Amino acid sequence: MKIYDYLIIGGGVCGCNVAYELHKHTSNILLIDKLDDVAKGASGAAGAFLSPLLGKPNNFKDLVTTSLPYAVNFYKQNTPNFIDNCGTIRIPKDDTDEDKFQSYIPFIDFPFEKKEAGYFFPIGSVVDSYGICKTLTQEIEKKLNYEVISIEYDGINWIINNEITTKNLILTTGANTKLIVEKYIDIRAIWGQRIDIETSTCISVNYHKECSVSKSTPLNTTTNKLSIGATHHRFVEERELSEEDTNELLKKASDIVNLKDVKVVTMHGGARASSSDYFPIVGEVIDSSKTIEEFPYLKNGTNVNPSRFTRYKNIFILNGVGGRGFVIAPYLAKRLVENIVNNEPLEESITSDRLFKRWVKNEKNRS
């Protein structure tokens, strides 16, 4: 029976980037997804806009600032047909938002200039989410339309559904975290929506205000195609796209540019995965039961070096990238593979350690 070096569960932007990075080291990889192709879930619904995160310095802003130029260069080099680095005009929503922008100017990490009603960032880009994922995995063995029901460790390898064996297992499952029951891995869903429209309006850059509007692509002498995308609030139950959702998105887009002769061509929606603190989760997964059994005083607030935590053998995760998946996934996938293959350490701010320690503290407070 074939034993894979690496098996990745989840064919979205995270799984496809991890597969691409691992393929630099081995071809013995299997990518599994429950749908019939890659990027068919939340990643396929993404507007896939790449733009800076504005604000005062913090760890997440630093991550986006590092990831954004990496992602733009990565896509240009590896998927050049599926990125348009046309720049983005960010338009303040109101006077308060304008005041915020002015206060952020000393902390903006990328060149920009005043343009139209907003500020033009040349690094702003839009990518074709499906084209990106398809290209990155074109040399990767896949098993699609395959639902993973169980994962078991036999002491040496991981067994999937009692029929597929792998030395290493990587979970890039997005909003579905049922395969490992660990309460501290608190992944929540954020509703993401994108509509593709045909319009006689032609625009040469991306725009962002309360939603994002892509540069238009000519279909013929009178008709252009463009995408409108937005990330909405967290929600609990899966939901269907409604006409009200689409009309709201069109209204927000029309507040940015004057869209004429609009015809909605396709609608996409999906549950984007976000952690409780909006940071991604990368690296090994802590076995909470065994760790607390070994260090019961963790519940009393006693500090234990994370290197002593018990972790699941040869199982890794990349999740919680939220609405900025196409910005941060390439960089995080590279860091994860460097960690797996070369044992290069990961920053605690992106590992599961922070979530576990917070969860243990909260468990103490609840008891």
96-113: pLDDT as tens digits? 999 999 999 999 999 999
The pLDDT of 335-358, averaged and rounded, is 95
Same domain for 224 and 358, yes or no, is no
Amino acid letter, residue 353: D
**Per-residue confidence (pLDDT) for residue 175, from 0 to 100:** 79
Q: Which one is predicted more confidently, 229 or 231? A: 229
**Per-residue confidence (pLDDT) for residue 301, from 0 to 100:** 82
Structure tokens at 358: 């917070």
Last residue of a domain, one of 221, 244, 273: 273
Instruction: Give the CATH number of the domain where residue 326 resides.
Output: 3.50.50.60
Tokens 């501290």 appear where?
184
Instruction: Give the CATH number of the domain where residue 223 resides.
Output: 3.30.70
- Print the domain residue range for 207: 189-273
The pLDDT of residue 215 is above 60: yes
- Mean pLDDT, the chain, rounded, equals 92
The pLDDT of residue 61 is above 90: yes
Last residue of a domain, one of 253, 273, 293: 273
The pLDDT of 127-151, averaged and rounded, is 96
Same domain for 263 and 336, yes or no, is no
**Per-residue confidence (pLDDT) for residue 27, from 0 to 100:** 97
Same domain for 194 and 174, yes or no, is no
Last residue of a domain, one of 250, 273, 296: 273
- For residues 15 and 8, is the Cβ–Cβ distance under 8 A? yes
In this prediction, residue 268 has a pLDDT band, given cuts at 50, 70 and 90, of: confident
Structure tokens at 156: 């040496």
The pLDDT of residue 367 is above 60: no
**Per-residue confidence (pLDDT) for residue 44, from 0 to 100:** 76
The pLDDT of residue 178 is above 80: yes
The pLDDT of 156-170, averaged and rounded, is 97
- pTM score over 0.85: yes
**Per-residue confidence (pLDDT) for residue 187, from 0 to 100:** 85
Measure the CA–CA gap between 246 and 248, rounded to whole angstroms.
5
The pLDDT of 260-280, averaged and rounded, is 87
The pLDDT of 329-357, averaged and rounded, is 95
Same domain for 209 and 255, yes or no, is yes
